[in-house]
Amino acid sequence: MPSQHLRESEANVFLANLVNLETVVHFDYAALGEKLETLRRILSALGNPEKRFATVHVAGSKGKGSVCAMVDNTLRLAGYRTGCFTSPHIDSVTERITIDGNTITMDTFVDEILQLKTFLQSRGGTKLLSYFDILTLAAIDIFAQQNVDVAILEVGMGGLYDSTNVCNPTVSGITEIELEHTEYLGDTIEKISVQKAGIIRSNVPAVVAQPNINLPPEQLSAILPKNSILIPPSTRTVENLHLTMPGKHQTKNAAVAAAILEQLRGNCGMKKLTTEIIRDGIATTKIPLRIEQLSTNPMLIIDAAHTVKSTKSLLEVLNENKTYEKKTLLLGLMRDKNIEGILEVLLPFFDKTIFTRCSESARALSGKELAGKTNSKQYEIIEAPITAFQTIRQNAKPNDLICVTGSFYLGATIRRLFVDNR
């Protein structure tokens, strides 16, 4: 029997040799739809693990990770066993798969990946499958093995062609939609909305943050399956609720989460999901990189905002404190975001901006590329994010504000550095 170290190395090599759509710049998005049938056949051969638990499936441009966390936290508070699959991760890939709020162990992850590798190779290999495909299959299979009551699956990108769309949803949720991944999802809100709406099933309630999912009635009726059930957010359930995560935008996410939970109570007989439990579970939810305050002197805020609306939500919170002596922004963005729109929102608020490369991915813009998209003169370019952050901290005074935003990858890098050196 190989040592666990060798098994982990084998799993890492297997995953590293797969196409990772999170890091490549261009790929055939339409081909992903054809691959869903392959994933469904694999799940069938595995005994249809996706049918062994209730499933909450969440898509959207912003807020879907927060909604997933709120649903997960509340279900656990009510006494239900949960599995949650989200992306990306901060420190370890194992963070993407949790059981009852706990990250699975590396041993569990490695065992599952190697079992899938052996199984898939016996069926002709993994030529068509991506890194995210394998993680999706692994999460679903682990949830079945762990006998979860409910699995919460966060869409990776879009919805219609996303790997997670092989699930058997009990309730679907679609958070707010913005321009994002326009090369693949489309260059208008309407086109992107069609992709998000692709997770909706016949006779399955779908909680939608925005009326008609941003689509004209005739277009909406043309793309929705028969007997679709669109549910509005439960704003009354979360009225006057004090949330642990800051920002008015989280109240909107909370209303979506509440409606999802109420649908589970009504359609799955989860009677322990009382209104009091729902309010308590949503209120106490907290996850990293959501306007997360890591220090006060200077004030350090790290946020994963990467859309125009999410950057506006960030500024709403930052504007609550008018006493900062100097405000410095560390910004890194992926090239498939609304770059000009984000810069237009963020830059006027800060006294100085440092542009950096948010990750080693080919999808990441360099600091120089970012600087080339602005007419502002109050900036500096430091391509290495850790060096950029250290430079800001060394020059910061106790009453200053440091804000790190633009990407999960940048936020994770700086958060890891700060926590390790605390």
| Rounded Cα–Cα distance for residues 68 and 55 (Å) | 11
Is pLDDT of 239 > 90? yes
pTM: 0.93
Mean pLDDT calculated for residue range 401-407 = 97
Is pLDDT of 21 > 90? no
- The model's confidence at residue 5, banded by pLDDT at 50, 70 and 90, is confident
Using DSSP's 3-state secondary structure scheme, residue 208 falls into strand
Mean pLDDT calculated for residue range 66-71 = 98
Domains of the chain: 4-283 (3.40.1190.10), 292-420 (3.90.190.20)
Mean pLDDT calculated for residue range 131-150 = 98
Query: Which pLDDT tens digit goes with each residue over 78-88?
Result: 999 999 999 99
Is pLDDT of 25 > 90? no
Mean pLDDT calculated for residue range 111-130 = 90
Residue 299 pairs in a beta bridge with: 296, 401
Query: Which pLDDT tens digit goes with each residue over 164-178?
Result: 999 999 999 999 998
Strands (E) in 141-288, as ranges, are 150-154, 171-174, 205-208, 229-231
- Cβ neighbours around 356 below 10 Å, total: 31
- The model's confidence at residue 321, banded by pLDDT at 50, 70 and 90, is confident
Residue 85 pairs in a beta bridge with: 97, 153
> CA 337, 342, 344 angle in degrees (round to 5)?
140
Per the CB < 8 A criterion, the answer to whether 191 and 202 are in contact is no
Query: Which pLDDT tens digit goes with each residue over 150-201?
Result: 999 999 999 999 999 999 999 999 999 988 888 889 999 999 999 999 999 9
Per the CB < 8 A criterion, the answer to whether 328 and 392 are in contact is yes
Q: Give the pLDDT of residue 376.
A: 81
Tokens of 326: 């100097």
| Rounded Cα–Cα distance for residues 422 and 418 (Å) | 6
